[in-house]
């Protein structure tokens, strides 16, 4: 079976396309008629144009600025002039100045704990070297060494220090 495809798309008729085009033509004609009537009435057609704030003499209705939210992410903020006017009318009562609070984080206890584990690890390594002949004793010491190394890897990081720090 063979099919022939015409490469010229103008040969195809589309009833929908014809209806849409005639509808557009009608709309254009109607809008031209309206424009003619508007011109006859003498009413000017409103146009948008830029007037700088210096020439207009009035303050802007609102001001957008770039700020930060609670998490420090960038955020577009809107300054409402109505709210500013209300705030100027109502003077806030003077509040006593708040003293700045100072917080200190102390990780000395955690650091001491980690140092003890490191010392125990060194001692166990020395004991393993000294007990090279006794296999059973070496196995027991190696188990203890593996346990201490696991504990050290868990505790010797910033996350553990922050979690167990003393804040005052």
The one-digit pLDDT tens for each residue of the chain (168 residues) are: 555 665 565 555 667 777 777 887 887 777 766 665 545 566 677 777 777 766 666 655 667 778 888 888 888 887 776 776 666 665 556 666 677 788 888 889 999 999 999 999 999 999 989 888 888 989 999 999 999 999 999 998 888 988 888 888
pTM metric for this prediction:
0.40
Record the tokens describing residue 112, joined without a space: 């001491």
Helix (H) or strand (E) holding 64: strand 63-68
Are 105 and 91 a contacting pair, CB within 8 Å?
no
């Amino acid at each position: 079976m063979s099919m022939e495809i015409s490469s010229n798309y103008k040969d195809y008729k589309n009833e929908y396309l014809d209806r849409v085009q005639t509808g557009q033509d009608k709309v254009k004609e109607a809008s031209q008629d309206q424009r003619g009537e508007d011109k006859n009435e003498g009413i000017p057609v409103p146009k948008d144009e830029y007037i700088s704030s210096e020439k207009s003499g009035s303050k802007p209705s609102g001001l957008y600025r770039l700020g930060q939210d609670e998490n420090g992410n960038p955020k577009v903020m809107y300054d409402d002039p109505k709210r500013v006017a209300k705030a100027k009318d109502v003077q806030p009562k003077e509040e006593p100045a708040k003293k700045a609070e100072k917080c200190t984080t102390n990780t000395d206890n955690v650091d001491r704990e980690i140092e003890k584990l490191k010392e125990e690890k060194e001692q166990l390594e020395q004991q393993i070297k000294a007990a090279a002949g006794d296999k059973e004793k070496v196995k027991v010491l190696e188990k203890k060494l593996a346990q201490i190394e696991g504990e050290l890897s868990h505790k010797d990081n910033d996350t553990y220090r922050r979690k167990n720090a003393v804040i005052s």
